[in-house]
Structure 1
Amino acid sequence: MAKLTTVELKLLAREPGSIFTILIPLFILIVFGSSISPGDTVLLPMTLAIAVGLVGLYQVPTTLATYRERGILRRLSTTPVRPGSLLGVQLILQFMLALTACGLLLAVASTVLGAHVPSQVVPLAAAFLLGTAAMFAIGLLIAAVAANGRTANGVGVMLYFPMAYLAGLMQPAEMMPLILARIGEFTPLGAFRESLQDVWAGASPGLLPLGVMAAYAVVVSLAAAKFFRWE
């Protein structure tokens, strides 16, 4: 397992998608962050949600579907390292990638831009974990049903942009038509963004966004487990 983790970590570090997952939200934060006030409670939660969404809808499904397409999971089934071990290692590393991207955003926002960073660790951790679990569950479902890595990539991108719009990541939810903003509250990215903004505003995340994220995490994970194929 240690050797597998080391190898997978090296492969992930060399993957261009991993670098873009970190750089794209950081670029958005720096470009727009220079013109906001230190007490802004919108931009940083938005960029955090963007980072987790990119990992969940792009990195996770593309990587796992590509491994199945190339027969890596099938070949591992004949070794002491079972395919499930690779799946577990990949999920841990992808989670660490999301954590790294968000940690960098928080560091740059607080030190370079002087942005407000909440001190409530528990509500922030709860929102982050549930949001990440929901997005990873969707990524796993895409990987489960996609024929190959290219298809998984395409489906992930196709889902990401409309979901990001409805979530208020491309345009503040306050500026969207009311019906679309309402629909966005019931998407995993929208619930994630809303719960983060609650934390940034000094409040606890609302029960509705937490419930929405938990529901996606559980229901979609079960669907992914049902349809997932090792080869």
Structure 2
Amino acid sequence: MTKLTFVELKLLTREPGAIFALLIPLFILVVFGSSIEPGDTVLVPMALAIAVGLVGLYMLPTTLATYRERGILRRLSATPVRPVRMLVVQLILQLVLAVAACGLLLGVAGGVLGAHLPSRWPLVALVFLLGAGSLFAIGLLIAALAPNGRSANGIGVLLYFPMAFLAGLMQPTHQMPDILVRVGEYTPLGAFRQSLQDIWAGGPADPLPLLVMAGYALVVSMIAARFFRWE
């Protein structure tokens, strides 16, 4: 398990998509953060949601579907390293990638741009785990249904952009029609962004977005497990 993790970590560091997931949210933060106000509670949560969304909807499904397409999971079934171990390792490494992306964003936001950072870090960690769990569950479902890596990539992109729009990551929610704002609140990316923004604003965490994320994480992951194919 340790050797498998080390090998997969080396492969992940060479993956262009991993660099993309790290740098795109950082680029957005720096470009729009050049005029950020110290009390801003919107930009940093938005950048964090973008980062986790890219990992969950793009990196995770593309990697797993590509491994199945190349027969890697099938060949592992004939070795002591069972395919499920590969799945566990990939989930851990993708979570580490999301943590690294968010850590980079928080370091630049607080240390360079002087952005406001919350003090309730245990609550931030809880929201992060729920958000990552809900988005990773959708990524696993994409990987389960996509016939190959290219299809998983395309499906992930097609889901990401409408979800990002509804979540208020492309346009502020106060400039969107009320019906779209309401729909966005029931998407995992929208619930994640809203929960982070509530924490950044210093208010209590609304239980509805937390329940939405937990529901996606539980239900969609069960569906993904039902349809996941090793070959």
**TM-score, normalising length from structure 2?**
0.99
Distance 1:36 1:122 in 2: 25
Letter in 1 for 2:151: T
Partner of 2:160: 160
Letter in 2 for 1:38: P
Partner of 2:170: 170
Letter in 2 for 1:14: R
Partner of 2:128: 128
Partner of 1:200: 200
Give the C-alpha shift of residue 174 in structure 1: 1.2
Does the CA contact (< 8 Å) of 1:123 and 1:204 recur in 2? no
Partner of 2:70: 70
Partner of 1:217: 217
Give the C-alpha shift of residue 201 in structure 1: 0.7
What SS class does the counterpart of residue 24 from structure 1 fall into? helix
1:172-218 per-position Cα deviation (integer Å, ceiling 9, x unaligned): 11111111011100000000000000100112321000000000000
Distance 1:227 1:71 in 2: 17
Partner of 1:32: 32
1:89-139 per-position Cα deviation (integer Å, ceiling 9, x unaligned): 000000000000000000000011000110101211111000000000000
What SS class does the counterpart of residue 147 from structure 1 fall into? coil
What SS class does the counterpart of residue 115 from structure 1 fall into? coil
Distance 1:24 1:205 in 2: 28
Distance 2:204 2:157 in 1: 31
Distance 1:205 1:75 in 2: 46
Is residue 196 of structure 2 the alignment partner of residue 188 of structure 1?
A: no
Does the CA contact (< 8 Å) of 1:127 and 1:205 recur in 2? no
Is residue 215 of structure 2 the alignment partner of residue 229 of structure 1?
A: no
1:19-98 pair list within 5 angstroms = 19-98=19-98
- Taking only aligned residues, the RMSD between alpha carbons, in angstroms, comes to 0.5
**Matched length:** 231
1:7-66 per-position Cα deviation (integer Å, ceiling 9, x unaligned): 000000000000010000000000000112011000000000000000000000000000
Letter in 2 for 1:97: L
1:68-99 per-position Cα deviation (integer Å, ceiling 9, x unaligned): 00000000001000000000000000000000
Structure 1 unaligned residues grouped into runs of 5+: none
Letter in 1 for 2:35: S
1:146-190 per-position Cα deviation (integer Å, ceiling 9, x unaligned): 000000000000000000000000011111111101110000000
Letter in 1 for 2:83: P
Does the CA contact (< 8 Å) of 1:164 and 1:189 recur in 2? yes
Letter in 1 for 2:67: Y
What SS class does the counterpart of residue 99 from structure 1 fall into? helix
Does the CA contact (< 8 Å) of 1:68 and 1:230 recur in 2? yes
Partner of 1:3: 3
What SS class does the counterpart of residue 39 from structure 2 fall into? coil
Distance 2:195 2:67 in 1: 34
Structure 2 unaligned residues grouped into runs of 5+: none
What SS class does the counterpart of residue 102 from structure 1 fall into? helix
Distance 2:174 2:99 in 1: 28
Letter in 2 for 1:34: S
Letter in 2 for 1:209: P
